[in-house]
Structure 1
Amino acid sequence: MGAVPAEALGVAGLGGVSRVYIQIVIWNLEKSDATVESLREYLRDYAVDAFSTLRGMRMKTWFADAKKGYWGAVYLWDGVNMQNPLSVSKAIELIGYPPTSTSVFAVEAIAEGVSAIESFKGIGRAFEEVSAPDPAGESA
């Protein structure tokens, strides 16, 4: 989708955005019928495209640990005037209950490194043909 002029999003401040926020949501899946693999299908088939339409969301990164039964996401928001993520999310419906933990923090600083990855579209384990062992220790 790309950047949208700050005025169109209704944010004010230096360069249109005065503060950026990070939101972290985590589910413990121990009481859910949902699995990391079934939630990967949700990402492939629906969520990545749906969340890409949210106004005010710079990025959403999903993460998981199948062995420990954790599923979650980190959002980077342009400011407080953002579209409610629940307007497109089906995670609560699929998992069966709200996140185990939700936190919002004001961002102190952001560093963008030099990366070989030009775009994050199609990146992640949900888009792999066969789930290869993860160097972080998660193998499902």
Structure 2
Amino acid sequence: MKAMIAWWDLTDSQQTAGTLRDFIRKESEHWTGIPGLLLKIWLSDPPTGRWGALLLWESEDAARAAVLPRSPAELIGHPVDFRAWFDVEATAEGVHSLRSLGGLGPALDGLVPVDFEEFAGK
């Protein structure tokens, strides 16, 4: 398995994590049928102006062969600022009550984001 993380710095863009939720709503369904893509998670850190995604692929070959949907680069106004690939050494799935990880998050009117500092007891 391979993992890829990418993000944009939005500080010089007219876009924000909030405005890019419309992009996710329109584009997320296009990601559900990509062969070899196990999971895509859109990420944001509004205080730092970062927005991006984590993709988990079945294999490097699957990632290379994938025909990807539209990139948000045009909306953001510049290419991705950071992209890195990683080998997945291991996975673990916790116990949860969710049927699926698909369709969650405020951009898709799923789960409300948790304040991590509060969640971690800090």
TM-score category by the smaller chain? 0.7 to 0.9
Structure 1 counterpart of 2:71:
90
The offset of 1:133, in angstroms, is 7.0
Structure 1 counterpart of 2:4:
23
RMSD: 2.1
In 1, the alpha carbon distance for the partners of 2:13 and 2:33 equals: 28
In 1, the alpha carbon distance for the partners of 2:101 and 2:113 equals: 20
Q: What's the TM-score, normalizing by structure 1?
A: 0.73
Structure 2 counterpart of 1:135:
115
Amino acid at match of 1:34: Q
Aligned: 1:41 with 2:29: no
Aligned: 1:51 with 2:43: no
1:34-83 Cα shifts (integer Å, max 9, x gaps): 11111111111x22101112121110001101121110110000101224
Larger radius of gyration: 1
Q: How many equivalent pairs are there?
A: 115
Runs in 1 of length 4+ with deviation above 3 angstroms?
none
1:10-48 Cα shifts (integer Å, max 9, x gaps): xxxxxxxxxx0000001110111111111111111x221
Partner SS state of residue 61, structure 1: strand
Structure 2 residues not aligned, in runs of 5+: 118-122
Equivalent pair of 2:9/2:49 in contact (CA under 8 Å): yes
Structure 2 counterpart of 1:76:
56
* Percent identity over paired residues: 32
